[in-house]
Amino acid sequence: MRRMETRLLLGLASLLSASCSPAAPGHPEDAVVLGALLPFSGSESAVGRNLEQAMLLAIEDLNAAGGLDGRPFDLRSRDSHSSTARGLDQLLQLLYADKIAYLVGPEEDELAREIATDVKGLDVFHMLPGYAAPSVARSETRGGWMRLAPAPFHVGCALAMVAVGEGVGTVNSLAARDDYNTRVRSEFTTQFVALRGRVLPSVTFTSGEHTYTKKIESAFASHAGRTLLAAYPATASTIVTEWTVSGRPGTWLLGPALRTEVLLANIPTGSLDEYIGVSPSLSLRSECPVVDGSEEMAGCSTENAAAFIDHFSRRWDGEAPLPAAHFYYDGAVLIAMGLVYAQATGKELPLSGYELQKIIRDLNSPENEPVRWSELNTAMARLRAGTRLRYIGAAAEYEFDEYGASIHHFMQRWKIQGHAFVDLPPVAVACSGVN
């Protein structure tokens, strides 16, 4: 009922103001607006500005390349407050008051699930660059969803393959009771069993608890060969600190959300040295040679990611992009490329979410000629001429399944040494059922 009232009030307000409201200050009147919901405050506030900077950089690059046949692209951001309740109100504002047709985010998967009905009902396009975004595995005729980062299935498969590759026979987990980390834990244990390993009793917890000492004791009482720590950095740092104080029982395997400086800055120095984790790779598939036609992979080169980091840092006074920011940049560019090609081929704008999703999938078919993120001037000109181009982005060489999920063939393996992450040869995603 509350959501229905919110929709009605927002709809009425937008009708009353539609004929008299100028464009928001600093936003061009004729712009093609992308909307973003990002955590600028609350527990995840450390990432919000960085992700917005990536999208603003993409908007600048796209406009420098001519925009949508002369019309500029623009970004309208709202704050999720790292909260489902407060973030939902802001998402509804984007959809019903701002009338955003092309939505990016949020980081919080619960919020993305909350508005699935609205996205479908309004037939808008919803780009999901975040690691914790919900899976997209349904065919729809209204609304368009695309997921850029690897799904929990890919992550769980890679973690299981790492454990098996190290000769580990038994695993369990200490996992946060949220949608994303629960799914990572579930996929990890499922794939480990499929690879003929044995899963021992696992432990879950709720983030924000005063202490995790008893949870740690329970997790390591099983004496598993590896215990997966699937949590977000703030909670994980508390767990690792308490685990260190308790004498460091057992051996960790680290989940994808833990590759962040926030973790390293808040744990005892050296406490996680040599422990291995898995996270989305920023190397292109073409930068990762396969050894002798097998599933084993040599070390990937990182020229593409390094070039984007340099591009980002020069624009933002030396600040480096978070790994997730690469995907947010790509999300904005993929939307723009789809719209430019749609207009060039006679489609009427604004485009429905369903139509735009199909166009982006078709453009990124493997048979189409590739174009890099650093070649947007050339890319936009050729798209305006009706040429089909697939996108090699700041985070990946994109190809999508029939539902709009990006297909990932390998994941980055790494370890911690002191206060730094050290990349190891990647691991191929080769579990049964992975695209």
Q: For the segment 55-70, what is each residue's pLDDT rounded down to a tens digit? A: 999 999 999 999 999 9
* C-alpha dist (Å) from residue 232 to 269, 286, 336: 19, 31, 32
- pTM beyond 0.75: the answer is yes
Strands (E) located in 112-212: 125-128, 144-147, 170-176, 198-199, 203-205
Q: Is residue 425 classed as helix, strand or coil in its secondary structure?
A: strand
Distance between CA atoms of 368 and 388, rounded to whole angstroms? Answer: 6
- Coil/strand/helix, residue 230: strand
Burial of residue 76, with CB atoms counted within 10 A of its CB: 0-12 exposed, 13-18 middle, 19 or more buried: middle
Residue 19: is its pLDDT beyond 50? no
What the block records as the tokens of 250 is 């057992």
**Residues 94, 125: contact at Cβ < 8 Å?**
no
Cα–Cα separations (whole angstroms), residue 243 to 89, 217, 221, 414, 428 = 39, 9, 13, 21, 31
Least reliable range by pLDDT among 204-213, 245-254, 284-293 = 284-293
Q: What angle do CA 60, 66, 69 make, to 5 degrees?
A: 130
Q: Is residue 386 scored above 90 in pLDDT?
A: yes
Q: Give residue for tokens 């460091």.
A: 248
The string of pLDDT tens digits covering residues 327-366 is 999 999 999 999 999 999 999 999 999 999 999 999 999 9
Which amino acid belongs to residue 394? Answer: A
pLDDT band at 46 (very low <50, low <70, confident <90, very high): confident
* Dihedral over Cα of 48, 49, 52, 57: its sign: negative
